[in-house]
Amino acid sequence: MANTLRTNTQSSLLDIRALILIYLLLSVLSIFLSRIFFTELLQPGELVDSDWLIVIFLTILAVLLIFLVISILSLFRDFRSRRMGSQFQTRLLVYFTTIVVFAVFPFAFITNLSVNEILRFWKSINIEAAMTYAQGFALDSYSLRLEQFEFHIQNRMKGDFDSFPPDVVAAQDFVLGEDGDWTSVRFVGDKAHALETPSSVWQGFATREMPRDVDVIRYALSSERSQVRLITCHLGTGFDEAIQSFANEKERFDVINSLRLNMDALLLFYYGAFFFPTLIMTLIIAISFARRVSQPLVDLVDATRRVAGGDFSIHIITRRSDELGLLVHSFNTMVRELERSQAMLMKVEKISIWQTMAQQLAHEIKNPLTPIKLSAERVLRRWHNTPERIGEILENSMLAIIQETEGLSTLLNEFRTLSRPMEPSLSWTRVQELVKRTVVPYKSSHPNILFNIEHINASVAVKLDRHRLSQVLTNLIINAIDAMSGEGLIEIRTDTVRKRDSQYCRISIRDTGKGIPPDEKSRVFTPYFTTKESGTGLGLPIVERIVNEHGGNIWFHSDLDVGATFFIDLPIASEAEVSDTSQLD
């Protein structure tokens, strides 16, 4: 079974694609709203009411600041806890931020410099005085023209007329009837300027009415209260359009002049509303990119450490097709080759172990045969030489023979257990109940040892041989008691782990004993290796064999004067597989 690591880890808050989409939407929104803002801002009249824009962008800015603070705090928390990859992510973020600052600073500096230079140049031009002078000149010209009109009209248009003076386009006489209504009695000139009633009955220039009086002005001649002559004078083609254009430009100048006075506030609004949100969004994306780039390297470091610890079943899953993906695939290939090499090495090692076991067994059998032979020869000599004194040595010799024979019997039984094929009787068993029953005898017989079994999942069930697993737990508990000299802590706990597509129950037995010396760690599961005076050296090899035949594996971690922890991984029964709960122990 293989452990799997996935390198497609999500960002702390949103997926990188979602962040890029938000950035694009924010950019489009900024461009759209900024165009609306500046278009309305430069329209003649009062300054645009930008309260709604301020509310929108302050809301966006606040949300982005919250996201940025959360991302930075998460990265800072990982950095403080020295989480794997946090330093590399921080370094990448610093690089990204430096690049952004280098790219943005010249732009911001040049923008401010350009705006200030334009304002300085604008202030150096006295446009307001020029426009005031032009306006006064136009009014003077207009007044002079009206005086000329009035002079010609009063001197040449009082009596009958056959021709018009210059710039006069129409003349019309009105008579006041008995009913009080004015009636047109005579009209000469352009019919487009004919009126039904006089625009004024008092002598002098009449008030102009738009759009009726475009580019013309009317003068009323009144000799009697019942008669009015209305003279229409042409002011020139495009006169009113030019006047309106001049007024519009003055309004636009007033708008620009007001912007010049409020430029600092406008620049602050520009940067705060359109520049800083995209900058903050860029930093959020940079943090997500840092996590995304560093995650495969973090997984590789983690996997490398596991491989260095002897776990060759690790496998990293990635969907990347770039150089990092190639590195991950190369790592997986290397681990598979190491796993095959390890399997081949283990096979050769097992052959060597069996050869060593045979030699060791022969040696272990030969040792007790010598005292047995000597005891039997001693009894036989006494029987031949002095049979009446055979009782002096008979009991001791027979006891020695019996003791050595029992030792041989124990040795052969353990060897047979280790060497013969097992056919375990498997049944669904609750690990918690099995551990409780196994620990009970040792709690009462070793009162100075604290047994902690609180961290065992009560719902975990494993299909196993209860007697065999109890034998495994018993052996490990006895070893832990011996390592602590009868005083200390033994903690047994379970965890759920996933290897490839299967779940496993991990049982850990931790003691606070003297630990295993580094030079002995490689021989712990080697048959006939023991540090006990009365040990056979077959206990842990038998434990390893039982665990392997249950489809699991066993390993340990130990430090001198700290203790040792043995780990056992066994396949878990899912709730769907265990349909009959009455079968559970």
Contacts of 413 (CB under 8 A, 6+ apart): none
Which residues, in sequence order, are bridge partners of residue 503? 498
Q: Is 58 helix (H, G, I), strand (E, B) or coil?
A: helix
Rounded distance between C-alpha atoms, residue 222 and residue 176, angstroms: 12
User: Do 183 and 172 contact (CB within 8 A), yes or no?
Assistant: no
* CA-wise closest residue to 266 among 54, 30, 44: 54
Per residue in 76-123, pLDDT (tens digit) is: 777 777 776 677 777 777 887 787 778 777 777 777 777 777 767 766
User: HSE-up of 436 (CA within 13 Å, CB side)?
Assistant: 11
- Report cis status (omega within 30 of 0) of the bond before 211: yes
Distance (Å, whole) CA 429 – CA 34: 70
Strand, coil or helix: 122: helix
Name every residue whose Cβ is closer than 8 Å to that of residue 2 and which is 6 or more positions away in sequence: 313, 314, 315, 499, 500
3-state SS class at 136: helix
Q: Which residue type does 372 have? A: I
What are the domain boundaries of the chain? 4-126+254-308, 168-234, 323-419, 427-583
Collapsing DSSP to helix, strand or coil, 245 comes out as helix
CATH 3.30.565.10 is the classification of domain 427-583: yes
C-beta of residue 496 within 8 angstroms of C-beta of residue 503: yes
Contact between residue 276 and residue 61 where contact means Cβ atoms under 8 Å apart? yes
pLDDT score at 549:
83
Cβ atoms of residues 465 and 550 within 8 Å: yes
Parts of the chain with a pLDDT under 50:
1-2, 7-12, 45-48, 575, 578-582
Q: Identify the bridge partners of residue 4 per DSSP, sorted by sequence position.
A: 315
As a whole number of angstroms, the distance between CA 300 and CA 295 comes to: 9
| 585: exposed, middle or buried (Cβ count in 10 Å: 0-12, 13-18, 19+) | middle
Q: 323-419 adopts what CATH topology?
A: Helix Hairpins (1.10.287)
Alpha-carbon distances, residue 551 vs 465, 506, 513 (angstroms): 12, 13, 29
**Residue 527 to residue 411: CA distance in whole angstroms:** 12
Q: What's the CA gap between 111 and 109, in Å, rounded?
A: 5
| Dist. CA 421–CA 414, nearest whole Å | 13
Q: Cβ distance 190 to 172 under 8 Å?
A: no
Closest C-alpha among 140, 220, 236, 238 to residue 173: 220
Q: Are 483 and 514 in contact (CB under 8 A)?
A: yes
SS3 state of residue 509: strand
**Structure confidence at residue 15 (pLDDT):** 64
Separation of alpha carbons 394 and 403, rounded Å: 14
Quote the CA–CA distance of 230 and 444 in Å, as a whole number: 132
Sign of CA dihedral 353, 355, 358, 362: negative
C-alpha–C-alpha distance, residues 266 and 355, integer Å: 90
| SS3 assignment, position 320 | coil
Q: How far apart are CA 96 and CA 282, in angstroms?
A: 9
Per DSSP, which regions of 305-367 are E strands?
315-317
The predicted-structure confidence for 266-319, as pLDDT tens digits, reads as follows 666 666 666 777 777 777 777 777 777 777 777 777 778 777 777 777 777 776
Cβ(37)–Cβ(53) below 8 Å? yes
What per-residue confidence (pLDDT) applies to 379? 83
State how far the Cα of 206 lies from the Cα of 183, in Å rounded to an integer: 18
> What letter does residue 273 receive in the DSSP assignment?
I
d(Cα 424, Cα 259) in Å, to the nearest integer? 91
Q: First CA to last CA across the chain, in angstroms?
A: 26
Q: How many whole angstroms separate alpha carbon 324 and alpha carbon 298? A: 11
DSSP bridge partners of 428: 463
